[in-house]
């Protein structure tokens, strides 16, 4: 609750009074004289400080000053658990023999690449032979391209070489094949017959069956003979390979007496 101080008597007056009730009673007519006199003011005496009394002499010698506080230490160093734990083992160095030298790594990589290359070559050779047999079976009809046939005794003595193609002079649609037949045996052979499959390297494939031809002739021993015969093919003359891109398969079918 708030009060206000009377400026005349210095008393606290409730806020419900506009005038100090004490001062109003003093100034009212018929007030006793003791109320009109101002209240006595208390005397302020100067405080005298007490006399200094020296302390009695110490019965014991003075204690030494306390030691300075210790430096900051980590909390784990003060723990008995960490104090009892053994120190971590030192890091092990890698042994010198664990790594192979550079030349050994190079040799291993070279052997690995060589193995991969040989594997690819073997697969390619096998696929090439399979494709060659399939192409011969589908593109040409020649006993020389069909495995499993009976081998004639003269097979290893007869050679066909010098294969080249030409157009017939009278009919340009007819293609002729010229070749050299060689008898490497010492026996004169009468009515020597055989089938020849011609293979050629073209732009579209490494080796395709180009066509076939058959021959029948007589040839002396250790002799050669040039022949010109019709060539059975499904290609046009301009599609035939050059002589340096041609290989042949020969199958001797007669005579059967040899």
258 falls in which pLDDT band (50, 70, 90)? low
**For 164-220, how does the pLDDT look when each residue is reduced to its tens digit (9 = 90+)?**
999 988 888 899 999 999 999 999 999 999 999 999 876 666 678 889 999 999 999
**1 in a domain, yes or no?**
yes
Q: How many domains does the chain have?
A: 2
Strand partners, 114: none
- What one-character DSSP code corresponds to residue 59? S
In a domain, 180, yes or no: yes
The alpha carbon of residue 180 and the mean position of all alpha carbons in its chain are separated, in whole angstroms, by 59
Measured between alpha carbons, how far is 52 from 58 in angstroms, rounded to an integer? 18
Q: What is the pLDDT of residue 121?
A: 81
Residue 171 domain-assigned (yes or no): yes
Q: According to the model, what pLDDT value does residue 86 have?
A: 64
The enclosing domain of 166 has a CATH number of 2.60.40
User: Looking at residue 232, what is its pLDDT?
Assistant: 93
Q: Is residue 129 part of a domain?
A: no
Sequence-distant contacts of 125-128: CB under 8 A, at least 24 apart = 128/206, 128/207
Residue 69 burial (10 A CB sphere; 0-12, 13-18, 19+) = exposed
Residue 184 lies in a domain: yes
> Is 75 domain-assigned?
no
Is pTM beyond 0.85 here?
no
The answer to whether residues 42 and 53 touch, using CB atoms and an 8 Å cutoff, is no
**Which residue in 19, 24, 25, 26 sits closest to 4, CA to CA?**
19
Is 40 part of a structural domain of the chain?
no
Higher pLDDT, 118 or 24: 118
**What's the confidence (pLDDT) of residue 43?**
55
Domain interval for residue 22: 1-28
pLDDT digits (tens, 9 = 90+) for 122-144: 887 666 655 555 444 444 444 45
Residue 120 placed within a domain: no
């Amino acid at each position: 609750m708030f009060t206000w101080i009377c400026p005349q008597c210095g008393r606290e007056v409730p806020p419900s009074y506009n005038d100090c009730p004490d001062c109003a009673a003093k100034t009212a007519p018929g007030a006793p004289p003791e109320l009109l006199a101002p209240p006595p003011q208390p005397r302020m005496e100067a405080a005298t400080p007490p006399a200094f009394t020296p302390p009695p002499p110490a019965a014991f010698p003075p204690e030494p000053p306390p030691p300075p506080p210790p430096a900051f230490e980590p909390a784990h160093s003060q723990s008995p658990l960490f104090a009892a734990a053994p120190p971590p083992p030192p890091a092990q160095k890698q042994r010198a023999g664990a790594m192979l030298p550079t030349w050994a790594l190079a040799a291993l990589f070279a052997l690995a690449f060589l193995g991969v290359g040989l594997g690819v070559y073997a697969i390619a050779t096998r696929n090439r032979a399979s494709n060659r047999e399939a192409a011969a079976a589908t593109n040409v009809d020649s006993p020389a391209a069909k495995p499993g046939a009976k081998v004639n005794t003269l097979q290893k003595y007869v050679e066909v070489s010098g294969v080249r193609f030409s157009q017939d002079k009278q009919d340009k649609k007819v293609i002729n094949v010229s070749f050299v037949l060689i008898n490497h045996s010492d026996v004169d052979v009468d009515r020597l017959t055989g089938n020849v499959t011609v293979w050629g390297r073209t732009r579209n494939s490494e080796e395709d069956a180009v066509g076939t031809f058959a021959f029948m002739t007589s040839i002396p021993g250790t002799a050669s003979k040039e022949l010109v015969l019709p060539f059975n093919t499904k290609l046009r003359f301009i599609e035939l390979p050059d002589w340096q891109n041609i290989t042949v398969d020969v199958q001797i079918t007669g005579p059967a007496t040899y």
